[in-house]
Amino acid sequence: MQKAIKITENIYWIGGNDRETDLFEGLWTLPQGVSYNAYLINDDKTAIVDTIKSGNLSDYIERLTSVLPAGRTIDYLIVNHMEPDHSGSIRMLRHLYPEMKIIGNKKTVEMIDAFYNITENIIEVKEGDVLDLGHHKVTFAMIPMVHWPESMVTYDTTEKVLFSTDAFGGFSALEGGIFDDELDMVHYEYEILRYFANIVGRYSSPTQKAIAKVRALQPRIICPAHGPIHRTNPNHIVDLYDKWSRHDTDEGVVVVYGSMYGNTKFMTDAIARSISEAGIKDVFVHDVSRDNLSFMIADIWRYKGLVLGSCTYNTELYPPMATLCRSLSNKMMKNRILGICGSYSWSKGALAELQLFAEQSGDWTLIQPSVEVKSCPTEEDLDQCRLLGRNVAEAVKKHFK
């Protein structure tokens, strides 16, 4: 039997680890799985914060019943967020505990009906409402669009524990430990960045509003819906989220190339080398055909500089590069320094589309020269690539001076 894990005297983790789903939302690779965190407050009244993806229900129920004696019921299910990785077991939980009241805000209530056809025994709450569980008093704060419009956080004012839904969460299953002091946080902070950049980052402006609310609450422990529980220094993860959602970056350059026969790669190799020679230590090169989009977006989110190089394919941008550019536009990234280059053989196309991407993406600074090569780069073409690399590196370094 799975066992609940104690967080405080009366608060437990009752989540599960999913190492079988390959793609989160059918898009984002999960090489080390993902955790779905849910929590139990075991007071005079019992309250659960969120359910779990339906495939992990047995872990959840075993952990839940490991705490509760036979016959003890669940009084409340608090629904912080309706995406089915957290709401997927609502119907089953209602079946097991028919008297249980479901708590959510106005938008949550509409979604519970739309997703699960449940309309009864629901309590609608607003910002600042208080739920009295006995010793524990919990309150609610709305954080719309972090990550869906109904997203809210639940705050246990008694023990200063924040149940923060997707905010501050990350990919990767929990490897035995569940707390930040039990885990390799270098790995988990990258996975939190990867989750932020791909899932939440588009909503950076709402995230800034959510951070202001969280800072005002001054939580002692932050319990997100994915990834580690932050009990050692909860402000650290709030600071990281603050930085990422302000589009504040680190000194470094990501180089992404799309190449069929190696000629564009030849160009971006020269660019990457010249960036390194100019003194930038963090240079990351991605093959757009082979590397998973989620890692490219995470790295691009983190660093100030980006170089995109693409061959032309059927008179247009190489399809995987077009997907990347479309994703970057959708994420509404700002304040990056960009260099572009492209190649063609019998019809131009790639560079013009990269140029359009640079113009339409708002706050990107396009560094010259943009380099376009016919078929295979000549030594003069490579000199232009090296000049582009140096100019990108200098622009990045200047930003951090």
Binding site for ligand FEO (CB under 6 A): 81, 83, 85-86, 147, 166, 225-226
Query: DSSP for 236-293?
Result: HHHHHHHHHHTT--EEEEEEEEE-SSSHHHHHHHHHHHHHHHTT---EEEEETTTS-H
Shortest distance (Å) from residue 166 CB to ligand FEO: 4
| Residue with Cβ nearer ligand FEO (49 or 225) | 225
Shortest distance (Å) from residue 146 CB to ligand FEO: 9
| Residue with Cβ nearer ligand FEO (147 or 386) | 147
Shortest distance (Å) from residue 332 CB to ligand FEO: 17
What is the rounded CA–CA span in Å between residue 313 and residue 330? 23
| Residue with Cβ nearer ligand FEO (150 or 381) | 150
3-state class (DSSP) for residue 164: coil
Shortest distance (Å) from residue 115 CB to ligand FEO: 13
3-state class (DSSP) for residue 20: coil
Shortest distance (Å) from residue 111 CB to ligand FEO: 12
CB hemisphere CA count around 157 (13 angstroms)? 13
Place of tokens 């989160």: 24
Q: At what angle do helices 319-331 and 350-360 cross, to 10 degrees?
A: 0
Classify burial at 194, counting beta carbons within 10 Å of its beta carbon; exposed 0-12, middle 13-18, buried 19 or more.
Answer: buried
Shortest distance (Å) from residue 83 CB to ligand FEO: 3
What is the rounded CA–CA span in Å between residue 164 and residue 246? 19
CA 362 to chain centre: 22
What is the rounded CA–CA span in Å between residue 190 and residue 294? 11
Shortest distance (Å) from residue 358 CB to ligand FEO: 31
For 355, residues 6+ apart whose C-beta sits below 8 A from its C-beta are 340, 366, 370
CB of 257 closer than 8 Å to CB of 288: yes
Single out the residue of 107, 203, 216 nearest to residue 160, CA to CA.
216
Shortest distance (Å) from residue 318 CB to ligand FEO: 31
Tell me: cis bond preceding 377? Omega within 30 of 0 counts: no
Neighbours of 104 (CB within 10 A): 25
| Residue with Cβ nearer ligand FEO (35 or 274) | 35
Shortest distance (Å) from residue 198 CB to ligand FEO: 11
Q: What is the C-alpha radius of gyration for the chain, rounded to an integer number of angstroms?
A: 24
| Residue with Cβ nearer ligand FEO (59 or 166) | 166
The letter for the amino acid at 107 is: K
What is the rounded CA–CA span in Å between residue 101 and residue 121? 5
Shortest distance (Å) from residue 388 CB to ligand FEO: 38
What is the rounded CA–CA span in Å between residue 107 and residue 303? 36
| Residue with Cβ nearer ligand FEO (83 or 156) | 83
| Residue with Cβ nearer ligand FEO (226 or 286) | 226
| Residue with Cβ nearer ligand FEO (226 or 304) | 226
CA 119 to chain centre: 31
| Residue with Cβ nearer ligand FEO (125 or 225) | 225
Shortest distance (Å) from residue 378 CB to ligand FEO: 49
| Residue with Cβ nearer ligand FEO (38 or 280) | 38
**Residue of minimal Cβ distance to ligand FEO:** 83
| Residue with Cβ nearer ligand FEO (213 or 273) | 213
End-to-end CA distance of the chain: 56
